[in-house]
Structure 1
Amino acid sequence: MTGDLVRILTDDLKLPAERLTDDASLDHAGFDSLAVVELSVLLTDRYGIDISDSDIRDAATLGRLDLLITSKRNGR
């Protein structure tokens, strides 16, 4: 995972760092429905990218979420 995502998850969403691995499911990492919404808003505010709540949930793992964010930031 990129450092940007790790910082958002630990600093802004207050998720436990020891659970943040590429293969961790969102549930295992500590996501709840509010965290999904907060992450969507943070990504729009900070990076100007639009990733819906359902896109985040569909990513299933933090590694896939990181790839989704990276591809959106790169305009793909």
Structure 2
Amino acid sequence: MTGDLTSILIHDLKLPADRLTDDASLDHAGFDSLAVVELSVLLADRYGIDISDSDIKDVATLGRLDLLITTKRSGR
């Protein structure tokens, strides 16, 4: 997972650092519906990328979420 995503998850969403691994599910990492919405808004504000709540919910792991964000940021 990239440092940017890890920083957002720990500092902005206040998720527990010990649960943030590439293979962790969003549920295991501590995501709830509010955290999904907050992440979507943060990504739009900070990086100008549009990732919907449902796109975030559809990823299986934090590693996949990181890949989705990286892909959107690179414009692919």
When normalised by structure 2's length, the TM-score is 0.99
Work out the CA distance in 1 between the residues paired with 2:24 and 2:14.
16
User: In structure 2, what is the equivalent of residue 68 of structure 1?
Assistant: 68
The alignment covers a number of residue pairs equal to 76
Work out the CA distance in 2 between the residues paired with 1:60 and 1:8.
19
* Percent of aligned positions that are identical: 87
**After superposition, where does 1:38-53 map in structure 2 within 5 Å?**
38-53=38-53
Cα offsets for 1:19-75 (capped at 9, x unmatched) = 000000000000000000000000000000000000001112100000000000000
User: How large is the RMSD of aligned CA atoms in angstroms?
Assistant: 0.3
When normalised by structure 1's length, the TM-score is 0.99
Residue 3 of structure 1 aligns with an amino acid whose one-letter code is: G
